[in-house]
Amino acid sequence: MNTLTPADRAKYAASRAALSLVEPDMKLGLGTGSTANWFIRLLGERIRVDGIKLSAVATSDRTAALARSEGIEVIELDAAGWLDLTIDGADEVDPALNLIKGGGGAHLQEKIVATASDRMVVITDDSKLVDTLGAFPLPVEVIPLGWTASRAIIEEMLEQIDVDGREVTPRMNGSELYRTDEGNHILDLHLKRIGDPHRLSPLLNQVAGVVENGLFLGVADQIMVGYDSGQAHLLEENGVMRPVSFADGIDEQAFIKRVMSQD
Ligand SMILES: O=C[C@H](O)[C@H](O)[C@H](O)COP(=O)(O)O
């Protein structure tokens, strides 16, 4: 643990705590991002240590590649049909367990997978817990055809919405427009504060060309919060925080040494 940065210690702690929710033969959804990567590596370690069998649906090409490299059986969502549990990171979490996701451009697949699961548990460090969503720019995936028109319609629509900022910027990858796994672009909405996410989300998804926005409202069931102390708490919808212990056979030092040597 001492070799990790404080941010990675917290992500590791949340992921390790979430590992105790995994049971043999489950069909899992695997999120995308730096926190989800910790969970995927821990899941691979648990499969090696315990020999448990399970299968998983990935929410991005990156996640599928990492999961396979960890020896996790990756299947398609349509083959899985329905999932027992999805574990994923988030960019912001509010007290009602509503989320902003998509900082890594994967929120479309993440939302499909999470809503096709009995349960979604978010793994996060405590810096992402906010009173009100919106400081993190809200990602909106748009198809390339006419994306500038979609942006103009969104900008006009935002005039009627209770937010503190209205700048809409296309996400870039160097000098090129960012492309999602589906080949679409992302518009980042710099709203600063979202007064009514339940009003905003359907309005965004009604705009022609919008595929999906990064608001996850009523999707997450529980939040596993990790701290740089190495401890973790489970946050329920009623605001109750319960400490979580790590109930698995993983050798922490050996695991972290292996991960650090791969990075
Ligand atoms: O598109 C990316 C996902 O929604 C991520 O789960 C989110 O951006 C959090 O990523 P990270 O764990 O790297 O902060």
Q: Given a cut of 90, is residue 247 above it in pLDDT?
A: no
pLDDT tier, 2 (very low <50, low <70, confident <90, very high otherwise): low
Query: What is the per-residue pLDDT across 106-116, written as a single tens digit (0 to 9) for each?
Result: 999 999 999 99
> Is ipTM beyond 0.95?
yes
Q: Model's pTM, two decimal places?
A: 0.96
24-33, 74-83, 89-98, 241-250: range with lowest mean pLDDT: 241-250
pLDDT given for residue 8 in this prediction: 96
3-state secondary structure of 110: helix
In whole angstroms, what is the distance from residue 235 CA to residue 105 CA?
A: 25
What are the phi and psi torsion angles at 129 (to 5°)?
A: -80, 120
Give the bridge partners for 189, in sequence order.
Answer: 138, 168
Marked catalytic residue, from 45, 110, 141, 212: 110
Q: Given a cut of 90, is residue 236 above it in pLDDT?
A: no
In whole angstroms, what is the distance from residue 102 CA to residue 130 CA?
A: 17
- Give me the chain's average pLDDT, please: 96
Domain boundaries, the chain: 6-127+218-262, 138-214
CB of 137 closer than 6 A to ligand 1? Answer: no
Query: What is the per-residue pLDDT across 184-203, written as a single tens digit (0 to 9) for each?
Result: 999 999 999 999 999 999 99
Structural class in CATH, domain 6-127+218-262: alpha beta
Q: Given a cut of 70, is residue 1 above it in pLDDT?
A: no
Q: Given a cut of 90, is residue 89 above it in pLDDT?
A: yes
pLDDT tier, 263 (very low <50, low <70, confident <90, very high otherwise): confident
What are the phi and psi torsion angles at 37 (to 5°)?
A: -60, -40
Query: What is the per-residue pLDDT across 128-187, written as a single tens digit (0 to 9) for each?
Result: 999 999 999 999 999 999 999 999 999 999 999 999 999 999 999 999 999 999 999 999
Residue 150 half-sphere exposure toward CB, CA atoms < 13 A: 27
Quote the ligand 1 centre to 104 CA distance (angstroms): 5
110 is known as an active-site residue: yes
Q: Is 104 annotated as a binding residue?
A: yes
3-state helix, strand, coil in the chain (%, to 5): 35, 25, 40
What are the phi and psi torsion angles at 180 (to 5°)?
A: -80, 175
CATH number of the 138-214 domain: 3.30.70.260
Q: Is 94 annotated as a binding residue?
A: no
pLDDT tier, 127 (very low <50, low <70, confident <90, very high otherwise): very high
User: Strand locations in 59-209, DSSP E?
Assistant: 73-74, 83-88, 92-93, 99-100, 117-125, 138-142, 167-170, 172-173, 176-177, 185-190
What is the best residue among 101, 124, 128, 188 to mutate for testing ligand 1's pocket, by most ligand atoms within 8 Å of CB?
101
Which atom of ligand 1 is least distant from the CA of 89?
Answer: 6
